[in-house]
Amino acid sequence: MVTLTIDNQTVTVPAGTTVLEAAQKLGIVVPHLCYHKELGAVGSCRMCAVMIHKGTLTGLKMSCLIAVEEGMVVTTTDERSMALREQVGEWLMLNHPHDCPVCDEGGECQLQEMTIAVGHGRRRYTGKKHTYPNQDLGPFIAQEMNRCIHCYRCARTYKDYCGGRDFGVMGSRNRVTFGRFADGMLQSDFSGNLIDFCPTGVFTDRTFRFTSRFWDLQEADSVCSHCGVGCAVIPGGRLHQLQRVRSGTNAAVNGSFLCDRGRFGFDYGRHPERPRRARRDGQEVAVDVALEALMSDARALIDAEGPEAVLLLGSERASLESNWLLQRLAKELGCRVPVLSPHARRHQAAQAVAFDLSHQLASLADVRTADVAVVFGVDPLAEAPLLALALRQIVRQGGRVVVCDPRPVELPFAFEHQPLSPLALHELLGGGDMDGKHLRDLLRQAKQPVLVAGADLLGTAGLRHVHSLAQRIATDDRACPIYPVLAGANSFGAALLSLPEQDDLMTRLEGDHVRMMICLETDPLVEGPDGKPLGERLARLEKLVVFDYLPTAVAARADTFIPTCPPVEASGTFINSEGRLRRFERVLAPGASLAHKEDGAHPPRAFFLTQPDSEPLPAPRLLQRLLGGETSLAQIQAEMVMDRPRLAALPQLKAGEEGERVAATVARALPEEKLPEQPAGTLQLVVSPARYGSDLLSRYARQLTPRLTTACVYLHPEDAERHGVQEGDRVDLDTRFGRFTLPLALSETLARGCALVENSAALPEPIPGSGISFCRIGRGGANG
């Protein structure tokens, strides 16, 4: 620790801290532009000048570059540094256009703030301003190059931190510009970070273009619900419409970054077909009427047919509170405990993570600081995009990343890919051939090793293998934590709440005991692997009740439908893959949007006491109404802690904070998975989630349409040759999910003996994480 004096105040900071950061700790803001907490300093803007009176280097220095020294004396408000900063502000503004009124950054622009902070106000220079050509960077990012102050933050974000390859610095002298070589959509899955990191309005959010001013937005700390990483986000809305999402900050999880799926895929809650009214037998009814009827139906059925008659189905997308209240509801009704996920195998894998691995979970920050990472069965960009960024930081610091996965994994950095088919991957983990030895040696030599395990591909058995591998690697002075990749925003939470006696959905539905099913914020038809048989079984139910905020297939089939709120319209808690409790706060009240952007249209002139279409209520409140008696979220949480001691940190949890991890616990007995034998002449079927449009939320987010890919089947060229098919052919794929005719694409980096399909809106039937299965491929019969 080093003690120094800044502006007559002493502060003690760790060695290696810069003067700028030490000043920030004291609450002194030294104006700066090119420095960013996540990106570090480069000293190019010259704005953070301070006077160093005592130290190795004295005089006017850039505070972002000077490390603190013992006994250093610094002033930030002396005449010379103030004068220099004002001058810097003045020349940064020489070419900056006079267009703040039409700039979307206005109001949250660091350049505006810093110009005011340094005191520059009146333009003295009378020469002409430079202008630059703009580029079309696709549907997400708008560029206005004239506003650029050449701080290089965009290039440092896009290229250095996120590893994008299609964006950079071009030109020489005062012609330096930042962009792509040619117009076109930015290819990186992290392109949206340019918006947050550009200190002025060069890169702005095109989906949010001219929509609202920062100061008019209702914002709250929330959690991204697209995948299990649980990044901090700050959604913002106005006029009852969610309009944008920007990255929040959580040092343990996402730092200050966000992937494009989380940033631009927020509009599922404003889907035009979103059901907002309660429905019963095709008739719109009041929510309370529907709730009452549903309760009396359930009671009558249970009285007549016993506790098996009603089946409650929770979800990995519903909040912790909702799932727990669903369990309470089962107790209240006297029926069997709810099933908390429609996807049994995924749910079991999540239980393995939440129980067996709970002593050894790594956070994403642990991944970033590791020096060797071995990834088993994860395609990070598809399953947990921010994991790809964390892994990139390992490589940037000189570490190594090895990925063992059947898919043709692409990552924004150099890594070693071992294309192993699912069976081979299990064999590697379970057995111990040469490759496994090589990996063990690599891990044993590492200072800070970390394992990444994909629950979807590995399943319970694979996760247990990874666990024992980690235990073998770990020594007394060197842990080997595991970062698990789970699919849903609250997969961990649902697994943690799950009870051993709950059984899986299809087993519970066997026979004709179940007469009524209540689905809470889930569509088992597309979120579980057994869509077809389940569809037939649902048709035989007497009552199907669905609580949801998406226009899902099962919602359309429901006898009773009750609208709920997406996370931005409710408060609650998720537990992310690493077992971290993440609180989200309500941003907007539910209700029909009043925003109109068409010329001449304007919000209604009539006023109502209640907002039209504001009937949807958060699921926990609906469930409490069913239980009779609404209490606050805090009271529910207090009861949850009494019930589940692992959630002890829940009541102190605050949105926007790092969030506590749930307490570790002992392993749970789970059914053993047996590896199937591969029938001759078949290929192993690998189902991967598509990067966009696989999770149900992004499927209903229409803003992501430009990023959607078409469905096709991938084969290794050797396999294609063996089966006599060529790239571009339409091929028939015979799988346990059905028979599909798809165009064929070849990939050199795909594991041999595998056929890969991506689950997306274009091909929703194959569900990832459904275990190892086999398929047959043949030339497309129908199309010749």
Phi first, then psi, for residue 15 (nearest 5°) are -60, 145
For helices 422-430 and 455-473, the axis angle rounded to 10 degrees is 20
CB of 116 to another protein, least distance (A): 15
CB of 98 to another protein, least distance (A): 5
Span interacting with another protein, options 53-61, 369-377, 392-400, 600-608, rule CB under 8 A: 600-608
Measured CA distances, 540 to 227, 516, 537, 547 (Å): 33, 10, 5, 20
Find the Cα–Cα–Cα–Cα dihedral 95, 96, 98, 101, rounded to 10°.
170
Output the six-digit token pair for 506.
Answer: 């299809």
Decide: is 177 part of the binding site for another protein (CB under 8 A): yes
Give the closest residue to 76 by CA, choosing from 19, 34, 123.
19
CB of 183 to another protein, least distance (A): 13
Q: Pick between residue 216 and residue 441 the one whose CB is nearest to another protein.
A: 216
Instruction: Pick one of 40, 43, 106, 168: the residue that binds another protein (CB under 8 A).
Output: 106
Q: Pick between residue 8 and residue 172 the one whose CB is nearest to another protein.
A: 172
How many residues would you count in the chain?
784
> Between 546 and 585, how does the x/- string for binding to another protein read (CB under 8 A)?
----------------------------------------
Instruction: Pick one of 209, 396, 478, 702: the residue that binds another protein (CB under 8 A).
Output: 209
Output the six-digit token pair for 86.
Answer: 């004002």
Decide: is 510 part of the binding site for another protein (CB under 8 A): no
The runs of H, that is alpha helices, within 230-339 are 260-264, 287-305, 320-333
> Between 225 and 264, how does the x/- string for binding to another protein read (CB under 8 A)?
--------------x-------------------------
Size of residue set near another protein by CB under 8 A:
42
Give the closest residue to 208 by CA, choosing from 33, 99, 219.
219
Say if residues 777 and 716 touch (Cβ distance below 8 Å): no
Instruction: Pick one of 122, 597, 628, 674: the residue that binds another protein (CB under 8 A).
Output: 597
CB of 323 to another protein, least distance (A): 39
Decide: is 184 part of the binding site for another protein (CB under 8 A): no
Q: Pick between residue 603 and residue 651 the one whose CB is nearest to another protein.
A: 603
Neighbouring C-alpha atoms within 13 Å toward the C-beta of 654: 2
Of residues 125-164, which lie at the interface with another protein (CB under 8 A)? Answer: 128-134, 144, 146
Decide: is 592 part of the binding site for another protein (CB under 8 A): no
Instruction: Pick one of 213, 396, 447, 472: the residue that binds another protein (CB under 8 A).
Output: 213
> Between 68 and 97, how does the x/- string for binding to another protein read (CB under 8 A)?
-----------------------------x
Output the six-digit token pair for 514.
Answer: 């179940």
Span interacting with another protein, options 67-75, 213-221, 245-253, 390-398, rule CB under 8 A: 213-221
231-268 b/e with 16+ CB inside 10 Å = b? bbbbbbbbbbbbbbbbbbbbebbbbbbbbbbbbbbbbb
CA 583 and chain centroid, separation = 14
Give the closest residue to 670 by CA, choosing from 475, 462, 519, 377.
462
Decide: is 596 part of the binding site for another protein (CB under 8 A): yes
The Cα–Cα gap between 233 and 247 comes to: 5
Strand, coil or helix: what is 582?
strand
CB of 350 to another protein, least distance (A): 44
The Cα–Cα gap between 383 and 196 comes to: 23
> Between 477 and 496, how does the x/- string for binding to another protein read (CB under 8 A)?
--------------------
Say if residues 259 and 701 touch (Cβ distance below 8 Å): no
Span interacting with another protein, options 15-23, 99-107, 567-575, 576-584, rule CB under 8 A: 99-107
Instruction: Pick one of 16, 272, 398, 600: the residue that binds another protein (CB under 8 A).
Output: 600
Span interacting with another protein, options 165-173, 286-294, 661-669, 769-777, rule CB under 8 A: 165-173
**Exposed, middle or buried, 190 (CB in 10 Å: 0-12/13-18/19+)?**
buried
The Cα–Cα gap between 155 and 174 comes to: 17
CB of 499 to another protein, least distance (A): 50
Find the Cα–Cα–Cα–Cα dihedral 671, 672, 678, 679, rounded to 10°.
-50
Decide: is 603 part of the binding site for another protein (CB under 8 A): yes
Instruction: Pick one of 12, 15, 58, 99: the residue that binds another protein (CB under 8 A).
Output: 99
Instruction: Pick one of 8, 56, 172, 610: the residue that binds another protein (CB under 8 A).
Output: 172
Decide: is 601 part of the binding site for another protein (CB under 8 A): yes
CB of 651 to another protein, least distance (A): 37
Residues near another protein (CB under 8 A): 97-102, 106-107, 128-134, 144, 146, 170-175, 177, 209-213, 215-216, 239, 595-603, 605
